[in-house]
Amino acid sequence: MRLTVDSRSVNESYCRVAVAAFAAQLDPTVEEISDIKTFVSEAVTNCIVHAYLSIPGKIYITASLTEDNTLIVRIRDKGIGIADVSKAREPLFTTGGDDRSGLGFSVMECFSDKLKVVSKEGVGTTVTIYKHIRGKNGNEA
């Protein structure tokens, strides 16, 4: 699936629900659905509050499934980019001020199997999240 949305906060719930609905074909458990919604919400929110803080833009989401029942979600922006990705991924690191906890990347990591972050200042950021879906009846890996 492919989804492009404006960087407006009203779209956060739509994006996470859309990806969770796409993954529904693997019959995920309630916890897996919640994990998917959470990591999508984290990545999309980062595009809105960090990447496009001053100049709004588009958020590009793709999701696919592999033969071994892994959900791959890619969330890309053409915003300000991240100067130091490994620093940004440290728990509690934030440039977001009082309302942000600096937990977004930790949550994405913890709720998935693998997280890849590629970013270039002034160009944008691509976050790729991999999650094997066991499903209610135990899908094969």
**CB under 6 A: which stretch of 2-10, 25-33, 58-66, 88-96 binds ligand ATP?**
88-96
Question: Is 77 near ligand ATP (CB under 6 A)?
Answer: yes
Closest listed residue to residue 65, CA positions, set 110, 33, 23, 24? 23
Q: DSSP assignment, residue 127? A: E
For 140, half-sphere exposure in the C-beta direction (CA atoms, 13 angstrom radius) is 3
80 scored as a contact of another protein (CB under 8 A): no
Residues 101-130 that bind another protein (CB under 8 A): 101, 103-104, 106-107, 110
Candidates 11-19, 20-28, 58-66, 74-82; binding stretch for ligand ATP (CB under 6 A): 74-82
d(CA 98, CA 94): 9
Residues that bind Mg ion (CB under 5 A): 46, 104
